[in-house]
Amino acid sequence: MTAIKHYLQFSDLTAAEYAYIFERAALIKKKFKAYEKHQPLADRTLAMIFEKASTRTRVSFEAGMYQLGGSVVHLTTDGSQLGRAEPIEDSAKVISRMVDLVMIRTFEQTKIERFAEHSRVPVINGLTNEFHPCQILADIFTYIEHRGSIAGKTVAWVGDGNNMANTWLQASEILGFAVHVSTPTGYEVDQDIAGLRSTDSYKVFKDPMQACAGADLVTTDVWTSMGFEAENEARKTAFADWRVDEDMMRAAKPDALFMHCLPAHRGEEVEAAVIDGPQSVVWEEAENRMHVQKALMEYLLLGKLI
């Protein structure tokens, strides 16, 4: 039996596998836009487990799976036995006997790893405290659509050293680009948590303006991620200088793009003029979640088709 392919963090796939998935996502997107059926997952079922809120991840996986010919089961902590302390290992054994694929959004990465260890089917990370690989998959696909290969380019990360930052850094090691990271003191990226091989692909800047200088892409995220709400007030003070504004965008390359995984808070981590401005590609980014995840689900279940 071949090993099950899970997608728990960005480093689970190679550069060659990403090249294939991006090519496939472009084809799947083109067919979707032309109202052409693409149903390689007919009769397959995806279970989606949400232990945190979601709009994009829910809609993109659910709509995407139906479009591929399959169906979905939606579970939440409160509405299932997960909320009544059924062990994650037991849940994995049961759920994976009835479905073909599982997507999980949860808290600690160890939780999704334990689930995957006991699952008979591929498990996809729909966001954990540590990583958000499906989002970075969509972001890089969006970059490629607008500007071509991301290899050799510079991404400026302004804000929290969170799940999005960790995943950008993992991606930079695999796909050969640089990340300029600027976070407030106390909110730095932790190289071990981010699962990085070295510090070669990123540079840390105290001043967010310097991180943006000459960047090809400027990106940020909420100051307070899900699960950290108790820190909200302290974070508002600490992050006040880490708001992406028009001056930061001017410091970047003239054709730099702006990305945000959404949901966004205008006037906190980003100025309205930036997120609603001409360099912003946030809506394409959100839409592309669906196209890349369709390519990912197809790949995890069927392997390479071309």
User: Catalytic: 261?
Assistant: yes
Task: Kindly provide the residue ranges of all beta strands, DSSP E only, lying in the chain, ordered along the sequence.
Answer: 45-50, 71-76, 101-105, 123-125, 154-158, 178-182, 202-204, 217-220, 257-260
Residue 221 binding partner per list ligand NVA, ligand CP, none, with a CB distance cut-off of 5 to 8 Å that depends on partner kind: ligand NVA
Q: Does the footprint of ligand CP cover residue 104 (CB under 6 A)?
A: no
Cα R_g (the chain), whole angstroms: 19
Shortest CB 8 distance to ligand NVA, Å? 16
First-to-final CA distance of the chain = 22
Q: Does the footprint of ligand NVA cover residue 137 (CB under 6 A)?
A: no
Q: Give me the sign of the Cα torsion angle 60, 62, 66, 70.
A: positive
CA–centroid distance for 67 within its chain? 21
Which of 6, 56, 105, 291 is catalytic? The answer is 105
Q: Does the footprint of ligand NVA cover residue 166 (CB under 6 A)?
A: no
Quick note: the x/- pattern for ligand NVA over 99-128, rule CB under 6 A, is ----------------------------x-
CA–centroid distance for 238 within its chain? 25
CA–centroid distance for 95 within its chain? 24
Dihedral of the CA atoms 106, 112, 118, 120 (nearest 10)? 80
Residue 180 binding partner per list ligand CP, ligand NVA, none, with a CB distance cut-off of 5 to 8 Å that depends on partner kind: none
Residue 222 binding partner per list ligand NVA, ligand CP, none, with a CB distance cut-off of 5 to 8 Å that depends on partner kind: ligand NVA
Q: Which is nearer to ligand NVA, 162 or 201 (CB)?
A: 162
9, 106, 163, 288: which one binds ligand NVA (CB under 6 A): 163
Which residues are designated catalytic?
A: 105, 132, 135, 221, 261, 289
